[in-house]
Amino acid sequence: MTASPRSATERQPLLPSEFPAPSPPPESGESDPTPLPSGIQTPSKDTPPVNQPSGTDLAWVLTGLWSAVFLGALDGTIVATLLTPIGSYFNKAHEASYLGTSYLLSVCCFTPLVRPLRRPFNAH
């Protein structure tokens, strides 16, 4: 393979140094030069943008996220707190690592089994 004279090297810029100037925005009295296809309406000034959630939607999303983080932290705290009592009940407190392993294995095994139970609540 031979290198062509126009091949890029590490010392050449990837983009040209001069870009074309952007076109100026239309004046307030002028109409938009590109008409919208039929059936598409321009949004009114009263409606919020599509990509900006309302305050209620944002509150529900944040509540769900905070609940998930809280329950995950609570779950970990309960397991960490109960390691010693469970280990001493089985006279294996010095081998407490098996409790964390068994907890993680049971979560991994039961998560797919719980999914069909959640399916009616996820129906649209």
C-alpha dihedral sign at 3, 4, 8, 11? positive
pLDDT score for 103: 82
pLDDT score for 51: 77
Residue 118 lies in a domain: yes
pLDDT score for 65: 93
Residue 36 lies in a domain: no
pLDDT score for 64: 92
Domain that holds residue 108: 55-122
pLDDT score for 67: 93
Most confident of 18-22, 55-59, 91-95: 55-59
Taking only the tens place, the pLDDT of each residue in 31-78 is 555 555 665 666 666 666 677 778 888 899 999 999 989 988 888 788
Residue 70 lies in a domain: yes
Provide DSSP, 51-107. Answer: TS--HHHHHHHHHHHHHHHHHHHHHHHHHHHHHHHHHHHTT-GGGTHHHHHHHHHHH
Number of domains in the chain: 1
Residue 47 lies in a domain: no
pLDDT score for 112: 85
Residue 61 lies in a domain: yes
Residue 6 lies in a domain: no
pTM of the model: 0.40
Q: Which amino acid would we find at residue 109?
A: C
Residue 10 lies in a domain: no
Distance of alpha carbon 104 from its chain centroid, rounded? 24
Residue 11 lies in a domain: no
C-alpha dihedral sign at 57, 64, 67, 123? positive
